[in-house]
Chains A and B, each alone.
Chain A
Amino acid sequence: MAHFEKATSVKDWLNQRLAIEKVEKVMASEYWIPKNINFLWAMGMVLMITFILLLVSGIFLLMYYQPNVDLAFDSVNYTIMREVGFGWLWRHVHGVAASVVFLIIYIHMFTGIYYGSYKKGREMIWISGMLLFITFSAEAFSGYMLPWGQMSYWAGMVITNIFSLGGLHLDGLVEWIRGDYVPAQAFLNRFFMLHVLLLPLAILGLIGLHFAALRIPHVNNQDGEEIDFDEEAKKYLAGDKKGSKVMRFANDFMSKDMMVVGIYLIFFFYLVFYHYNFAMDPVNFDPADGLKTPAHIYPEWYFLWSYEILRPFSVNIGLIAFGFAQVIFVLLPFLDRSPNTVPANRRGAFGIWFWLLLIDMIVLTAMGKLPPEGAFSTIGLVAALAFIALWIALPFITAKEKKL
C-alpha cells in the first residue's frame, strides 16, 4: 500500500487518490495549443457539443420509442410529437443535429486535409477520425431506420441489398443481415440495438482514441510550423503570455471554443425551430409500405456523394467504385508522398487538387439527389470518374512536390 498523508482539504484528499491536479494540468491548463490557429480549430468542440445534443435528445426519445414495426411510426409521430412534454423538441433537435453533425464533420475533415494535419505523427488522429466518420455514418443510417417511414424502409431495403455484392449474388448474406427476407421486425430491432447501444459505445471508444492520438503530437497550426511545445510553455508560465507561441487549452482556447459554439448554436437552434425539412424529409412521414416504393428515393444529403459514385456504373463496377470511395480517405496519410506539412495554398498542385476534390464532392452530392436522367446522369458519371482519377493522381502529384 502506497503512503498516504492526512488530507488538508477535499482537493488534497482527491489529489492523493486520483491525482486530479495532474490530470487537470495534462488535459486542460497545461495542454498547450498553438496561438496561430483560426475558428476552424473549434470544429472539434462543435462536434462534441452536437454529439452531446444527440445523446441527450436521444435519451428522451428512447423513453418513448417503440421498436416494433406496428408501433414505431406512431410512437414517434403521435406519442413523442404530440403527447410527450417537449417531445417534439427532442425529435427536432435529434433530427437536425444528426444532419448538421455531418456538415461539421466534413468541414473538420477538409480542414485537416487543407492544413496537412494528417501527416508527420498525426496519422492516427486522421485514421481514428475516419473511423469515427464511418461509425457516425452507420449510426446515422441505423437511426434513420427507426421511425419506420417510407424512406426508412426503402433505404433499409436498398442499402442491405448492396451486401449481395452484385454479381456474387450473396442473397443469403443479405437475408442474414436483415434477419428476414425483407426489412421487417428482426431488422428494425437489431438496428435499434446498433443505434442505441453498440455504435454509441464504439463512438465513445473512438473519441477516446482520437483525443489520445491528438495529445502527444498536439494540434496543428495555420502554417504547419513545428513548435517546441516545452519551450513555448516555459515562456508562457514565466509570464510572457504575449510572446509565447502557445496558450492553455483551458481557459484560453476554450473561451474561443465557446464563442464559436455560441454562434454555431444560434444557427443550429434556428434550424431546429424554423427550418428543418432538410433534416426531416417529408417522404418519411408516410408509414413504411413494403408494397409501394416512393417516386423519389434518396439518402440523406451527407451520403449523396457516395451514392452518386455507385449509380452511374453497372452494378459490379459501381460496387467496386463505391467500396473504393469508402476506404480511400483513410489512406490519405500514405497516399500523400510529400514531406511538406503546410497549408494547401503553399503546396502548388496539391492546392489545386484540394479545391478540385471539394468541388467534385459537391457536384457528386448534387447529382446524387437529382433524378438520374439526361444531363444530370452525365455530369454524375464525369464527377464519379473525376473522383477516382483525383485519388489515383494524388501519389504522383505529391511525390513531385518541391520540399519547402
Chain B
Amino acid sequence: MEKNGRRGFMGKAFGAVAAVGAVGSLVAMKKSWDPLPSVKAAGFTTLDMTVYKAGELVTEKWRGKPIFVLKKTPEMVAKQTEADKARDIIVNGEHYMIAIGLCTHLGCIPAYYPDEEGFICACHGGQFDFAGEVTKVPPPRGLDIPPFRIDGTKLVLGEVGPEYENMKENGVTL
C-alpha cells in the first residue's frame, strides 16, 4: 500500500508538471486571440476642425464606428440646456457636438434631421437633440462621446485629453 501511495504521488507530480505546460499553452493561445498591433495602431483618427460648416452634420470614422461631428450654430449654442453644455466640446472658440453615431439603446445609427435640429433612430424611435442628449426613450443615455484630445485646431480621437477626462468623471459619458 505504501508503494501504491508513492506511485500515486509520482503520477500526480507528473500530472502537475503536464498541467503547467497546459497552462503555458493556454496563455500563448490567449495572446493569439488578442487584437493585432496594426488594429490597435489604427485606433486613432485626427480630425481637422477647420473644415466643418455650422449646422452641417458630418460623419467621420473611428475604430470602424461612425462619429457625428456637428458644428453648432450660434442659435444652437444659445439654447443649450445645462446637460447640453456639459457635453459641449470647444475647439478654437467654436462649439461642437462630437459623439459616437450609434444609438445607446441597441446600436443603430440615428438619422439627423437638420430642420428639427435633432436625431431620430429608425430602429425603435429613440430621439436625441443636437447636443446628443436623449429627448425620447428608449435610449438609456445620451450619445456616447469618444475619447478625444484637443491639439490646436485638430482633434485626435482615441487619445485622452483633460476635457474628456472631465466628462468621464462627471458621468457625462461612459
Contact = CB atoms under 8 A, between A and B. Distances in A.
Asked if A and B form a direct contact in the complex, defined as CB atoms under 8 angstroms apart, the reply is yes
Given A251-B11, A258-B14, A84 B36 contact: yes
Interface residues on A, range: 10 to 19
Interface stretch (A21-29, A85-93, A280-288): A85-93
B31 interface: yes
Nearest to B27: A86
B32 A85 contact: yes
A85 B25 CA distance: 12
Contacts of A87: 32
Nearest to A60: B32
A87 B38 CA distance: 14
Contacts of B31: 85-86
Interface string B5-24: 00000010010000000000
B29 interface: yes
A86 B30 CA distance: 10
A245 B64 CA distance: 68
A86 B36 contact: no
Given A251-B11, A258-B14, A63 B36 contact: no
B34 interface: yes
B37 interface: yes
The DSSP consensus for interface residues of chain B is helix
A83 interface: yes
A86 B14 CA distance: 26
Contact of A79 (B14, B28, B34, B36): B36
Nearest to A87: B32
A65 B14 CA distance: 36
Contacts of A89: 28
Interface in A59-112: 60, 63, 79, 83-87, 89-90
Contacts of A83: 36-38
Given A83-B37, A83-B38, A63 B32 contact: yes
A89 B38 CA distance: 19
Interface in B58-74: none
Contacts of A255: 11
B37 A86 contact: no
B81 to A, nearest CB: 47
Nearest to B25: A56
A255 B32 CA distance: 32
Interface string B147-160: 00000000000000
A85 B34 CA distance: 7
Nearest to B18: A258
A297 to B, nearest CB: 33
Contacts of B34: 85
A193 B39 CA distance: 28
A401 B62 CA distance: 80
A90 B38 contact: no
Contacts of B32: 60, 63, 84-87, 90
Interface string B111-144: 0000000000000000000000000000000000
A56 B21 CA distance: 14
B65 to A, nearest CB: 22
Contacts of A86: 28-29, 31-32
Nearest to B28: A86
A355 B28 CA distance: 44
A273 to B, nearest CB: 13
A145 B36 CA distance: 25
A77 B58 CA distance: 39
Contacts of B33: 63
Contacts of B36: 79, 83-84
B14 A85 contact: no
A89 B25 CA distance: 11
Contacts of B38: 83
B22 to A, nearest CB: 11
Q: Which of A56, A79, A85, A251 has the most CB of B within 10 A?
A: A85
Interface string A246-263: 000001000100100000
Nearest to B36: A83
Contacts of A85: 28, 31-32, 34
Nearest to A79: B36
Contacts of B28: 85-86, 89
A236 to B, nearest CB: 15
B24 to A, nearest CB: 11
A87 B29 CA distance: 9
A62 to B, nearest CB: 11
A44 to B, nearest CB: 19
Nearest to B39: A83
A60 B37 contact: no
Nearest to B7: A251
B3 to A, nearest CB: 11
Interface of A: 56, 60, 63, 79, 83-87, 89-90, 251, 255, 258
12 contacts: A60-B29, A60-B32, A63-B32, A63-B33, A79-B36, A83-B37, A84-B32, A84-B36, A85-B32, A86-B31, A251-B11, A255-B11
The 8 closest A-B pairs by CB, nearest first: A85-B31, A86-B28, A83-B36, A60-B32, A85-B32, A85-B34, A86-B32, A86-B31
Given A56-B25, A83-B37, A258-B14, 7 more contacts: A63-B33, A85-B28, A85-B32, A85-B34, A86-B32, A87-B32, A89-B28
